[in-house]
Structure 1
């Protein structure tokens, strides 16, 4: 429900994929979250058709359904669907908010038109969390109800720490949903940038990582020596920029807990140990008479600046790299040297490059619960996303705390971007399985940024597939992928049997007709996944994949291999010739690392099937920590 990310994703009003899919009209998205502000303009229903006849849900009184919000149910203690957190309204609007003109947050991003990625889709909201958190029982009850009611896709911007699949309620609930044809889209988690920090790792879930968009809420720090550093802030004060202020930085770490010097009228430089500056630091600066604050990003977060509107003091957040330079200037000469600075507020800047960049907080693979399966699956906008907000939930202190839009960050924000795109693909191809839709989104994604270079991580290094999944989502291509890697219940059951055994399959599938004696066990490498993960070893390792033709009946594809240093990759056959729609072809990919150095632990390449009309790309990851049989 943003004023920037649909355009950044190539979604344009009146043309392209939005036009071709009727903006997702007729698709039903189910949300498991903290409820909804039903009166928000993003959820009005003027001009919308009634829900499809197959819809069985309803709105729990006193909520009144309309043609946009067609279902609302509460599973929490207070038994209301009101959103007293804000999270649910924000995510719901991001996936399916109607067009709202002149949307802005705190005067920023002004004049933009807000829209979800599937603004024509119907919404059904299941409140399974509140300000205290979420009970697993409520979550499972909500998933069951949504599937029974007839949703096409489920969006869960929630999760816990990595848990074995048979102990993970979301994985168990999602298996039931997927077996009924409902794709489940989940947040990958906000525990990055450390490796193996994911949640929602089951292969049948579409797991989403977060990246930046090409927009900055610019607040540049200009030093007395003329140097400028491009920071960001949601607290913008144009009048502040017209003056120059003494700059204060205590020698050594300064977390702005307290001050043993007079900082009245000064711009104070503060270190931070958290992605978002702590309110206590702002309060300390304000109470000590400081005029403004420059917060330096924690080193782990590199170039990722996470913004929140909590503060009334003029401020700028800068990267760790720029922060070091500002500190260097502040510490030059003696303590009596006149160091000065000001913050130049430039409101909203668009067209920022490079974008997307992986957000530092976005959780990374390799997966602990699903070893050998590439996770996250996909990356989408999740940093500083402007979207719908319930006006009764305060955003900041003071009289102006009521806002109908807010800027927040997380894989929670990335997830509904993808959910809306799933709704568009489902609208275009109602008969496709959840795995086919997931494959379409993964194989058509982009591994390059808006400068044409490989997507970078928060440190501006080349991002691993364990950070970005297959790549950054591209809606226009997802509706027409050419080929898909399909999977069904029995494939997933075979994977569970090989990984965890018969008791786990009973727990997850809840289906007595599926047992490990009846299904063939499948190793992670042989699962017909749109991404390939193999051990990094000298001996050749072969995996089989099967693709289904969903493009033109007569289609010829040629294999193009991106081979990294140290690997040898062979594809047989190297050409696939299709003569009809839904025809299936199997091929073998053989990977060996005979040329890899002893120190090399990871090598990443790609297999791309290319025809006249389509490009179908699968990441290939060779990892020394993977031991597959």
Structure 2
């Protein structure tokens, strides 16, 4: 007979045994998972340095060297590595399908620098030439010959050959330097290249199945198309910013996104083939520049004199949400234009409230219909008009108010209303979206209204037992004097990767932009001249790409930094109303929303002074960010030693971002080059200084006696001990003026 204590002990042992066995099974499973992951191939971007004294006579020689890494890494592995892209221009290295163990095996090989799993970036998804001051046979268009001879390389979702925007009427043959390829029928003197880098194998097509790439390409370099419109709205002559420039498409995105291996392959080919401008309406989160494929590829581009324009991102209005923050990239935010496609809400209390919609039916009854807000009694999903959320709610024949948001597309909300029998939709902005409205091709009569208008409509609904409303479609309205205003979605600074550089650099048209589209959104088969109106920093980026092509054509000796400087120092800070540019809250927009301001192509063509930066000038700046010599080498594509480092604000940039603590005094120099009038004198004539700052400039005059002469001045930022600073940031600007030219450099001050 056993005692109670021994029985209890035996019971515990029996209870522990299953747990112990379970732990063994779990441990084995975890080991199996880890082992499986180490043998699971994924795409890596591998950076290499050629050994000292080794040179490659042909691309094939270099690729053979790349293959040696794959062969060596595969010894003892059951997985055969595969080369996806071999890079020859953006950097020395390749993209390949590798296991973690294979990457580990490479690390000991001579020439290996680094390897990282690839990232997947996302897209930042005719009246604008006139709005920006571009007119046929006048000014910048005439002076730059409409961009003739300049090649704009667009990295996007593909293109639509045969669209009238890509007709080559008036476009000469591409320059002799062009070495590109067209992998689709329909290329001509306008569309001179089209290649696919995102599809596996050689069967991929550069045809655009999305629309995004067709839209951005035509915005940058589309030819003149008379009678362009959507649903009869915004009718006129559509044209890109550089209408006689050449366009080359590098397809790097598909429905799953934009893999960094494909982006780098597209940039690599564009550099090799001879583009002058690169336009990328895509991006990813903020990461150190040596981990950012776009930043690394863009540096290789500017080393060869290629201008790079990128979208800032669509994660506004929140701060520190930028993509593409490198100072050698032009980072472009989005602004409104002075055109509305107006759809007015007419309430039962006789209030008329303006909104927008691209779809403007002529037969919508001008009689009051019942007005309903599903979010009043049926929860958040119904408020957002999410798919299926209106089932069981009586909306048939009614005007339905839907809140923007919920990660549901604006047009999809209208589809939900239509499916439930609704007669029309009022799409109301959330407070965060403010008054940024967009003219969409809705599937039913609709009006997209600002957040305060939405509150007014809901207040009216609550004020009566029988609310009613109708929509009045007023068509295209030109001359909205609040433009340009910053779009709510436009990403904001300060930069996370480099807080000492002001970003974005510039804003340009990005709201309700009419441009080419692969198919008719009206389901018409009668014309090839198909257009659509969409919004995003994806739309503002190609505006700046095209404008930079004009400047490159007019000033072929200007460096990418010089073109960027000309764009930034001449940017506008006022709307058409004559007041400072506002954001979506109707408040003056901060420097982290507009950068230097709204692009002004005419003034950018004659800036007076430029702030130039040579590629090697970025090395001490990068060292100053705390990057190792190896990390800097990944970016600049050569071996460097960080013996010299400068603070970010010392880079010869056309703006300043300075941090000032109590009693701080910080001085930075700038060197300007005279590209205006030979004999000219510049003095600081317009200076805006925030509370808490004292600004000193030395010398007080810049006296030039010849063109291309360089002069240096010092700006000293002093914390005012007597002033009480209530906000963490202040901002201002310094304008040098010669009477003929004004050169404005904005600055941001972080008070700590």
Give me the TM-score of the superposition, normalised by structure 2. 0.79
Counterpart of 1:100? 225
Match of 1:42 among 146, 165, 168: 165
Counterpart of 1:321? 452
- Cα distance, 1:278 vs structure 2: 4.5
In structure 1, C-alpha distance between the alignment counterparts of 2:245 and 2:568, rounded to whole Å? 22
Matches within 5 A, 1:420-439: 420-439=546-565
* CA distance 1:523–1:314, change in 2 (3 Å): same
- Cα distance, 1:70 vs structure 2: 1.5
Match of 1:67 among 183, 189, 193: 189
In structure 2, C-alpha distance between the alignment counterparts of 1:567 and 1:411, rounded to whole Å? 33
Counterpart of 1:290? 422
CA-to-aligned-CA distance 1:244-280 (integer Å, 9 cap, x gap): 1121224356333225543322112222225875555
Counterpart of 1:377? 505
Match of 1:128 among 249, 252, 265: 252
Counterpart of 1:198? 322
Counterpart of 2:740? 613
- Cα distance, 1:370 vs structure 2: 1.6
Counterpart of 2:607? 481
- Cα distance, 1:501 vs structure 2: 2.3
CA-to-aligned-CA distance 1:331-384 (integer Å, 9 cap, x gap): 114xxx332111000111111120011011100000011221001111000011
Counterpart of 1:453? 579
CA-to-aligned-CA distance 1:185-219 (integer Å, 9 cap, x gap): 10111111100000100011111000000011100
In structure 2, C-alpha distance between the alignment counterparts of 1:222 and 1:400, rounded to whole Å? 35
In structure 1, C-alpha distance between the alignment counterparts of 2:708 and 2:408, rounded to whole Å? 49
Match of 1:249 among 370, 373, 380: 373
Counterpart of 1:528? 652
Counterpart of 2:730? 603
Counterpart of 2:284? 160
- Cα distance, 1:56 vs structure 2: 1.8
Match of 2:590 among 429, 439, 464: 464
Matches within 5 A, 1:135-534: 135-250=259-374, 251=376, 254-256=383-385, 257-258=389-390, 260-274=392-406, 277-278=409-410, 281-309=413-441, 311-333=442-464, 337-391=465-519, 395=521, 404-499=530-625, 500-512=627-639, 514-517=640-643, 520-534=644-658
Match of 2:175 among 44, 52, 77: 52
Q: What SS does the corresponding residue of 1:239 show, helix, strand or coil?
A: coil
Q: What SS does the corresponding residue of 1:242 show, helix, strand or coil?
A: coil
Is 2:18 the counterpart of 1:18?
Answer: no
In structure 2, C-alpha distance between the alignment counterparts of 1:461 and 1:389, rounded to whole Å? 34
Q: Is the 8 A contact 2:499 2:657 kept in 1?
A: no
* CA distance 1:430–1:275, change in 2 (3 Å): farther
Q: What SS does the corresponding residue of 2:360 show, helix, strand or coil?
A: coil
CA RMSD, 1 decimal: 1.9
Counterpart of 2:49? none
In structure 2, C-alpha distance between the alignment counterparts of 1:308 and 1:225, rounded to whole Å? 27
In structure 2, C-alpha distance between the alignment counterparts of 1:144 and 1:312, rounded to whole Å? 41
- Cα distance, 1:94 vs structure 2: 0.2
In structure 2, C-alpha distance between the alignment counterparts of 1:50 and 1:82, rounded to whole Å? 22
Q: Is the 8 A contact 2:163 2:528 kept in 1?
A: no
Tell me the number of residue pairs that the alignment of Structure 1 and Structure 2 aligns: 612
Give me the TM-score of the superposition, normalised by structure 1. 0.94
In structure 2, C-alpha distance between the alignment counterparts of 1:13 and 1:177, rounded to whole Å? 31
In structure 1, C-alpha distance between the alignment counterparts of 2:742 and 2:407, rounded to whole Å? 38
Q: Is the 8 A contact 1:445 1:473 kept in 2?
A: yes
Unpaired stretches in structure 2, ≥5 consecutive residues: 1-125
* CA distance 1:610–1:134, change in 2 (3 Å): same
CA-to-aligned-CA distance 1:461-512 (integer Å, 9 cap, x gap): 1101110010100000111111000111121111111111212111111213
In structure 1, C-alpha distance between the alignment counterparts of 2:739 and 2:268, rounded to whole Å? 43
Q: Is the 8 A contact 2:691 2:725 kept in 1?
A: no
Match of 1:114 among 230, 233, 238: 238
Q: Is the 8 A contact 1:275 1:306 kept in 2?
A: no
Q: Is the 8 A contact 2:164 2:529 kept in 1?
A: no
Which of the two has greater helix per residue? 2
Q: Is the 8 A contact 2:411 2:443 kept in 1?
A: no
CA-to-aligned-CA distance 1:271-307 (integer Å, 9 cap, x gap): 2225875555434422332211111111100001134
In structure 2, C-alpha distance between the alignment counterparts of 1:102 and 1:275, rounded to whole Å? 35
Q: Is the 8 A contact 1:185 1:415 kept in 2?
A: yes
* CA distance 1:27–1:175, change in 2 (3 Å): same
Q: Is the 8 A contact 1:267 1:292 kept in 2?
A: yes
Counterpart of 1:32? 155
Q: Is the 8 A contact 1:390 1:403 kept in 2?
A: no
Counterpart of 2:701? 575
CA-to-aligned-CA distance 1:383-434 (integer Å, 9 cap, x gap): 110100112xx74789999971001111110000001110111111111111
In structure 2, C-alpha distance between the alignment counterparts of 1:27 and 1:383, rounded to whole Å? 26
Unpaired stretches in structure 1, ≥5 consecutive residues: none
In structure 1, C-alpha distance between the alignment counterparts of 2:393 and 2:614, rounded to whole Å? 67
Q: Greater shift after overlay, 195-204 or 246-255? A: 246-255
In structure 2, C-alpha distance between the alignment counterparts of 1:610 and 1:202, rounded to whole Å? 29
